[in-house]
Chains A and B, each alone.
Chain A
Amino acid sequence: MSLVPVTLLGLLEREPSHGYDLKRDYDAYFGRDKPLPFGQVYATLGRLVRDGKAMAAGSEPGAGPDRKRYSITESGVAEVEAWLAEPVEPEPHLQTALFAKVTLALMLGRPAERYLDAQRAAHLQRMRELTERRRAGGVVDALLADHGLFHLEADLRWIDVTTARLSVLAQEVRS
C-alpha cells in the first residue's frame, strides 16, 4: 500500500476523524514539504471505504463539502500493522516512509523500536551483500557498491539517532 492511504488509515486508527482533521494532521506530521490536497484526501478515503479498510461513521451538520466522520475497520487495522512491521526496501531516500512508520507507531502505542530494529537488520543485510560484491568484483563494482554502502550507512545513522530519541518523539506525537 502506498504511503498516503496507509498513513490516513493510521490516523484513523488513532481516532475516528473527518477529512478536514485528517488533512490537518497529515500535513502537520507527514506533509510538511508537500501538503495533501483536499481532493486527494476524499478520493483516498473513498477508496479505503470501497476496499473495506475504513467506514463512514455518520455525518454531522456544518459548513464544508464533507462532514462525514470516518473510522477504521478491522481489516484496516490489520493493514496498518502489516505495513508497520514490514521493513522498507533498503534504498536511498527512504526517510519519508520510515519517518511515517515511526511516528504512526508511536501515535498508536506500537513497538516502534522493534520496527526500527527490523529495518536496521534489513539495511545491514543489504550492506553485507554490497560488501561481498565489492570484495569479489573489480574496481567498478567496488565504486558502485560504495555508493550504495554510503547511502545505507547514512540511513542507519538516522535509524540509530531516531532509536535514541524515541521517548522524546513519543511525547511530542502523543501530546
Chain B
Amino acid sequence: MSVARVVSDDRAPGALLEGRHLVKSFGATPALRDASVSVWPGEIVAVMGPSGSGKSTLLHCLAGILVPEAGEVLFSDRRLDTMGEPARSALRRDRFGFVFQSGQLVPELTAEENVALPLLLNRVRRSAALAETREWFERLGLSGLEQRRSGELSGGQAQRVAVARALVVHPEVLFADEPTGSLDSLTGEHVMELLVAACRQQGTTVVLVTHDARVAAYAEREVVVRDGTVSALTGGPVTR
C-alpha cells in the first residue's frame, strides 16, 4: 500500500521521541490508525490498552522495529521511518534498550555473557565489557549468578538479567513490552523497582507497554491506546 508521508508540522517542543499520525496494518487488519504520542527526555511513560489495541505495535514503530505505512517517527529530531534498516539497526543497538516479556536470553551463553553481549557487539574489549557487566550484576542483585545459563535462572532472575543487558549500553530510551508479564506479582514488583531505580539513576527514558495497572503505576504518565489510536493521555511532560 502506498501512503503519502505527509504530516502537519505540529511537533511537540522538547520531545525526545515522537510518533505522529502513525498508521500501520497487518494485512487487512489495521493496528494503528492515526496514533500520535510524544515522550520527553527522562520520563517513564506507560502505554496501556486492551489486548489487540495496538499498544505493542506503537512501541515497535517508536523503536524502529516496524516502519509505519504513514505518519512519522522522530527520535532526537531524526526521522526513523525514512531510515534504512542498517541505520535503524545501529540506532537500536547503540541508543535503545529492550526488555520483553520472556525468552530474550541466549540459552547457550552464561548470564554474564548475555549481559556483555551488546557491549561485545559494539566492539568493546572483552575484559572491559565483563567489568562493566559485573557492576550491573551488583546493582540488580544478581551477584553469584554470573556463570548460570538461562535455564538455571528463575523467571525473576532471568528478567533482571534482561534488564541488565538492556541498560548496560546506557541507552537513551528503554522500550519495555510487558516486562513483568510472565512473573508473579511480588517478583514483578521487584523487577519493576530495580528497573525504574536504574533508569532514574542514569536518566534513561522509558516507554513501558503494560496491561497491568500496578506496573503502570511505576510510570509518571500514561497513554491509553484503543482501536489503534491514542485515545487518552494523562499528565504532561515531566519537569526535571
A120 near B224 with CB under 8 A, answer: yes
- Which of A16-24, A29-37, A121-129 is near enough to bind chain B? A121-129
- The answer to whether B85 has its CB under 8 Å from any CB of chain A is no
Interface of B is mostly: mixed
A127 near B193 with CB under 8 A, answer: no
| A residues near B31, Cβ cutoff 8 Å | none
- Which of A38-46, A96-104, A152-160 is near enough to bind chain B? A152-160
B217 near A117 with CB under 8 A, answer: no
B213 near A153 with CB under 8 A, answer: yes
B214 near A149 with CB under 8 A, answer: yes
Q: A153-B214, A164-B50 are in contact. Are A117 and B224 (CB under 8 A)?
A: yes
- The answer to whether A80 has its CB under 8 Å from any CB of chain B is no
| B residues near A130, Cβ cutoff 8 Å | 217
A129-175: which have CB < 8 Å to B? 130-131, 135, 149, 152-153, 156-157, 160, 163-164
| A residues near B213, Cβ cutoff 8 Å | 123-124, 127, 152-153, 156-157
| B residues near A163, Cβ cutoff 8 Å | 226
Smallest beta-carbon distance B194→chain A, Å? 11
| B residues near A123, Cβ cutoff 8 Å | 213
Q: A117-B224, A135-B193, A164-B50 are in contact. Are A124 and B214 (CB under 8 A)?
A: no
- The answer to whether B232 has its CB under 8 Å from any CB of chain A is yes
- The answer to whether B100 has its CB under 8 Å from any CB of chain A is no
| Partner pick for A131 among B50, B217, B226, B235, CB 8 A cutoff | B217
Range of interface residues on A (Cβ < 8 Å): 20 to 34
Smallest beta-carbon distance A142→chain B, Å? 9
Bound together, the chains give a CA A152 to CA B50 distance in angstroms of 18
Bound together, the chains give a CA A153 to CA B226 distance in angstroms of 19
A117 near B222 with CB under 8 A, answer: no
| A residues near B152, Cβ cutoff 8 Å | none
Q: Which of B218, B219, B231, B232: most chain A Cβ within 10 A?
A: B232
Smallest beta-carbon distance B111→chain A, Å? 26
Smallest beta-carbon distance A24→chain B, Å? 35
Smallest beta-carbon distance A45→chain B, Å? 37
* Proximity bits, B197-223, A CB within 8 Å = 1, else 0: 000000000000000011011111010
A121 near B217 with CB under 8 A, answer: no
Bound together, the chains give a CA A160 to CA B231 distance in angstroms of 13
* Proximity bits, B50-81, A CB within 8 Å = 1, else 0: 10000000000000000000000000000000
Bound together, the chains give a CA A123 to CA B218 distance in angstroms of 13
Bound together, the chains give a CA A113 to CA B193 distance in angstroms of 32
| A residues near B127, Cβ cutoff 8 Å | none
Bound together, the chains give a CA A153 to CA B219 distance in angstroms of 15
Query: 15 extra interchain contacts, Cβ-Cβ under 8 A, other than A113-B231, A164-B50?
Result: A121-B234, A123-B213, A124-B217, A124-B234, A125-B234, A127-B213, A127-B214, A128-B218, A128-B219, A130-B217, A135-B193, A149-B214, A149-B217, A156-B213, A163-B226
| Complex A-B, nearest 8 residue pairs according to Cβ-Cβ distance, in ascending order | A127-B217, A121-B234, A117-B232, A131-B217, A156-B213, A128-B217, A153-B213, A153-B214
User: What are 26 sample pairs from A and B whose C-beta atoms fall under 8 A apart?
Assistant: A117-B232, A117-B234, A120-B224, A120-B234, A121-B222, A121-B232, A121-B234, A123-B213, A124-B213, A124-B217, A124-B234, A125-B234, A127-B214, A127-B217, A128-B218, A128-B220, A130-B217, A131-B214, A131-B218, A149-B214, A149-B217, A152-B213, A157-B213, A160-B50, A163-B226, A164-B50
